[in-house]
Homo-oligomer: A and B are copies of this chain.
Amino acid sequence: MEIYGILEKVRAQKPLVHHLTNWVTIYDCANIVKVLGASPVMAHAKEESGDMAKLASSLVLNIGTLTPEFIDSMKIAAKSANEKNIPIILDVCGAGATKLRDEKCFELLDNVKINIIKGNASEVARIAGENVQTKGVDASEVEKDLIEIAASLAKERDCTVVITGKEDIIADKDRHLIVKNGHELMSHVVGTGCMTTSVIGTFAAVENNLVNAAAAGLCCYEIAAELAAEETNGPGTFKEKLFDNIYNLNKEQIEKMQKVE
């Protein structure tokens, strides 16, 4: 699978990636898009979220700090994105933790076309209708086979599904890929999950095959994390080195280190 080629397209086309995301990691989401070479924008006002989506090449939605009003702005941006036919990625952050999160995820999925659903195992399982309780925004254990859950949800919602974890699963109704890159330090710093979504949104902005786009994005991001981990011994400096390594990521590193199956 071509990975570096998609990163090259990101760097050459510098797509505008519109976000309605959470307030905790909003900086990291913007910055990861920037260091990839693309252009982030965050415009959540209902009066402009649709207009900004018209200028963008993809739309990232993340419900991490949702309110009902914020979901309404997401719907406006999403309808605009659907009309323009740009991909929408939804991070179902914290699905299963509260009634509000579950309801609003389904409200979004039922009212606009979401092209990629992304979450950790327990979040995606919840959206797929499995009986899972999520503890806050960190992953809980899921019994069932994750590839099966991803494929089934992809078929039900006619979309691509990404389940992140030690190994990432990317599936649409026809096939799936597994990305085995990454580093354990990623789970000890806030923002790595949200940044994953922004990375996938950025790659989806330049590559129509969304399974390939998501896998390539995950792979690049997680190779950079492996390189960063070699340069640090803690989560604080790790995150800064992650930005450095994505910015400097080259073809040789990707070809040597990629583990996409």
Interface of A with B (CB < 8 Å)? 16, 18, 22-28, 30-31, 34-35, 39-45, 47-48, 51-52, 55-56, 64-68, 94, 97-101, 135-138, 188-191, 232-245, 247-248
Q: How far is the CB of A54 from chain B (nearest CB, A)?
A: 9
Q: Is the CB of A67 within 8 A of B44?
A: yes
**Which residue of chain B has the shortest Cβ distance to A185 in the bound complex?**
B247
Question: Can you report 20 A-B residue pairs in the complex whose CB atoms are below 8 A from each other?
Answer: A16-B136, A24-B30, A24-B42, A27-B27, A27-B190, A31-B189, A34-B190, A35-B235, A41-B94, A43-B97, A45-B65, A51-B99, A52-B97, A52-B136, A56-B136, A188-B247, A189-B243, A234-B241, A234-B244, A235-B247
Q: A100-B51, A189-B31 are in contact. Are A236 and B244 (CB under 8 A)?
A: yes
**Which residue of chain B has the shortest Cβ distance to A34 in the bound complex?**
B190
Q: Which residues of B contact A40 (CB under 8 A)?
A: 136, 190
Q: Is the CB of B98 within 8 A of A52?
A: yes
Q: How far is the CA of A98 from the CA of B48 in the complex (A)?
A: 6
Q: How far is the CB of A55 from chain B (nearest CB, A)?
A: 6
Q: Which residues of B contact A24 (CB under 8 A)?
A: 26-27, 30, 42
Q: Is the CB of A35 within 8 A of B136?
A: no
| Interface SS of A by simple majority | mixed
Q: Is the CB of A241 within 8 A of B248?
A: no
- In this complex, which of A45, A51, A99 has the most chain B Cβ atoms within 10 angstroms of its Cβ? A45
A245 is contacted by which of B28, B234, B238 (Cβ under 8 Å)? B234
Q: How far is the CA of A101 from the CA of B43 in the complex (A)?
A: 10
Q: Which residues of B contact A241 (CB under 8 A)?
A: 234, 236-237
Q: Is the CB of A65 within 8 A of B39?
A: no
Q: Is the CB of A67 within 8 A of B47?
A: yes
Q: How far is the CA of A47 from the CA of B70 in the complex (A)?
A: 13
Q: Which residues of B contact A16 (CB under 8 A)?
A: 135-136
Q: Is the CB of A25 within 8 A of B27?
A: yes
Q: Which residues of B contact A239 (CB under 8 A)?
A: 236, 240
Q: A42-B23, A43-B98, A45-B100 are in contact. Are A34 and B68 (CB under 8 A)?
A: no
**Given pairs A16-B136, A236-B244, 20 additional interface contacts (CB within 8 A):** A22-B42, A23-B23, A31-B235, A34-B189, A34-B190, A34-B235, A35-B234, A39-B135, A40-B136, A41-B94, A44-B65, A47-B68, A47-B100, A48-B66, A51-B98, A52-B97, A52-B136, A55-B97, A235-B244, A236-B243
